[in-house]
Amino acid sequence: MCGIAGATGTPDVDIIVKKMLAALGHRGPDSCGTYQAENLSIGNTLLKITGDMPQPLIGKGALVLNGEVFNFRELASESGIEYESRIKTNSDTEVLFSLIETRIKKGDTPINAVFSVLSSVNGDYALAYAFDSELVLARDPAGVKPLFYFSEKGAEKPKIVFASEKKALFDAERDIQRFPPGNVMSLNLQNGKLEERSLKIKPPQERISEEHEAAFRLKTVLGRAVELRLTSASGIAFSGGIDSTFLAALAKKINPAISLYAVGLPDSHDIIQAESAAEAIGMKDSLKVHLLSLEEIEAAVPHVIYATESVDPMRIAIGLPLYFVAKTAREDGKRVLLTGQGADELFGGYKRHEGFLEQGPEVLDREIYSDLINISVINLERDDMVTMANSVELRVPFLDKEVIKTGLSISPELKVLKKDGFYTRKYILRKAAEDLLPPELLWKEKKAMQYGTGVQKILDKLARDSGFSKRDGNHIEKYLTRVASEKGFEFI
């Protein structure tokens, strides 16, 4: 996990990029580097997770990467590059770079080289590859890793500025856009020509309708996804719900010493649930609980506003607990945090999914696909930013390439099951976990994080104590806006 930034179009691009990287320092405290060519500069702030390879990587071209290629060893083996002495296969970035450069040497254009290599990648990434007068940007299909940019087509020299977070761009431009998930885009710096390729998530090409087959295949691919994401520096954000408990049980089989992290107010629902679930799966000693206080939450509010670049009440209320989980994990020496993000979207975990099923399985199927396509804007950017505010990398096994493919293939009637007038959401996920979790965990519904931890209640109190009446409406947003204004946050 890192922060990346870049700019084109002006002679002072290296100064601009170094300034942007300084704003992204929390994303990569281990090292910082830039590559400069004529009217172009790209850079990286590095958080060492896989391997020890400073960026940018420079050869025929130059590469900066934010994220992880989880199948890089398989890609290296298939390509034979592990036998070249100059390649260190403990570096996913170096393998990715070598594969791209190999295709360039064989005559591929930069965009085709990047697109072809990424088509085989299972990972979460945002990257920039520069070659001669061409700059290629790309982002993973689910949008796990954020990327923002500004472009100016009418300039004498084509101009583009990009970074992992919007705050790095505020001094440069205001018309900032999200780089679309699953997009690969090339900009020719000489003539301004744009080319694009798509790696976006596709609707299912098959349908798995038999329950046992669906549960078996789901458990298999999810187990592999967890295994790929575990390191010695990994922990799990743990609330005791089906998503995080399933991940914990799978991770325990691979690493019995994996740590679980739970936060909440004393005696809050999530603390009680986390302790009960950890004990039920034999991981009581692995659970590390951080009890929150009103004062601690109040002190963290400005940090979460700054991290998420938002005063949206729901964004802050959900971001705060994960911010504290990441902070606790980091203080415990962890650099990677696995979460259950994506399970609700992929397997019908929201109350509204019941209504969609009533309209017909095809409606539920369509809405689940839509939820997945939009998860980056709604959830992933927030989660990435609050974890990276603590220099902790977010990993999401439920959004693994193969888990998504399998999950979308499963019939919607197996995701939201209606029986005798009652609904069971995420039914097939629960069935997949049946031999790992006791029944009292498998079928229990869970509160949303902001309510289960008690954070929503504290935000409500802070807003009212600051003089904003709940009766007048939007009292929490008004409170958050005041905090942002007092701190001088310019993005509001």
Given 2, 121, 297, 428, the catalytic residue: 2
Cα–Cα distance measured from residue 283 to residue 144, given in angstroms and rounded to the nearest whole number:
28
* 8 Å CB contact between 319 and 308: yes
* 8 Å CB contact between 235 and 252: no
32 catalytic residue (yes or no): no
H helix count then E strand count, the chain: 20, 19
The angle at the Cα of 453, spanning 448 to 459, to the nearest 5 degrees, equals 95
412 residue type, one letter: P
Distance of CA 452 to the CA centre of its chain: 22
Q: What is the 3-state secondary structure (H, E, C) of 245-265?
A: HHHHHHHHHHCCCCEEEEEEC
- Structure tokens that stand for 74 in this block: 């398989």
Classify each residue of 388-415 as buried b or exposed e, where b means 16 or more C-beta atoms within 10 Å of its C-beta. Answer: bbbbbbbbbbbbbbbbbebbbbbbbbbb
Query: CB burial class (10 A; 0-12, 13-18, 19+) of residue 285?
Result: exposed
Classify each residue of 88-115 as buried b or exposed e, where b means 16 or more C-beta atoms within 10 Å of its C-beta. Answer: ebebbbbbbbbbbbbbbeeebebbbbbb
Alpha helices, DSSP H, located in 26-109: 72-79, 92-105
Cα–Cα distance measured from residue 226 to residue 235, given in angstroms and rounded to the nearest whole number:
11
- Structure tokens that stand for 380 in this block: 């992933």
Classify each residue of 208-223 as buried b or exposed e, where b means 16 or more C-beta atoms within 10 Å of its C-beta. Answer: beebeebbebbbebbb
466, HSE (Cβ side, Cα atoms, 13 Å): 17
Q: Name the residue among 230, 214, 219, 222 with its Cα closest to residue 50.
A: 230
The SS3 assignment for 200 reads coil
The SS3 assignment for 14 reads helix
* 8 Å CB contact between 96 and 52: no
For the annotated catalytic residues, the residue numbers are 2
